[in-house]
């Protein structure tokens, strides 16, 4: 699996060495070797829960929807913000957002990527609430 950081955070781009950041937002392009996993609503739900646990995130609620003939949308409400996924199995693609004000967002993404058999993962990282 290849995880590529496509764009650095604003603080990194500005060369800021000391800053306060209220949240980290990972906007992720995920390409899977096993597109059938992207159509399995229960597998995606379990994968999101495993990602939250591994990323030390607090799950408050989760909503999942399977589309016909294919595709899944899932949104996990976290005490730290949210984790969401929207899949296009016919293209082997998933759009993922990991937005947290705590925990380990990269660890959560790593677990989700592994469980969805990601071949390639591209990340745009945003610092939210830069003070």
| Contact between 47 and 74 (Cβ < 8 Å) | no
Separation between Cα atoms, residue 82 and residue 2, nearest integer Å: 24
Separation between Cα atoms, residue 97 and residue 110, nearest integer Å: 13
Query: Pseudo-torsion of CA 79, 129, 107, 87, nearest 10°?
Result: 80
Candidates 106, 67, 71; CA nearest to 86 is 71
Q: Verify whether residue 101 is a known catalytic residue.
A: yes
Q: Verify whether residue 82 is a known catalytic residue.
A: no
Q: Verify whether residue 9 is a known catalytic residue.
A: no
State the catalytic residue, choosing from 34, 43, 70, 101.
101
State the catalytic residue, choosing from 9, 32, 81, 113.
81
**Residues labelled catalytic:** 81, 86, 101
């Amino acid at each position: 699996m290849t995880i590529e950081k496509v764009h650095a955070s604003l603080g990194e781009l500005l060369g800021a060495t000391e800053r306060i950041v209220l949240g980290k937002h990972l906007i992720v392009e995920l390409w899977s070797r096993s597109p059938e996993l992207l159509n399995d609503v229960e597998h995606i739900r379990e994968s999101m829960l495993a990602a939250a646990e591994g990323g030390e995130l607090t799950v408050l609620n989760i909503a999942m929807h399977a589309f016909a003939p294919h595709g899944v949308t899932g949104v996990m409400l976290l005490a730290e913000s949210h984790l969401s996924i929207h899949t296009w199995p016919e293209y082997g693609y998933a759009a993922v957002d990991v937005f947290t004000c705590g925990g380990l967002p990269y660890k959560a993404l790593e677990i989700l990527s592994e469980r969805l058999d990601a071949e390639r993962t591209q990340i745009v990282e945003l610092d939210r609430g830069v003070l």
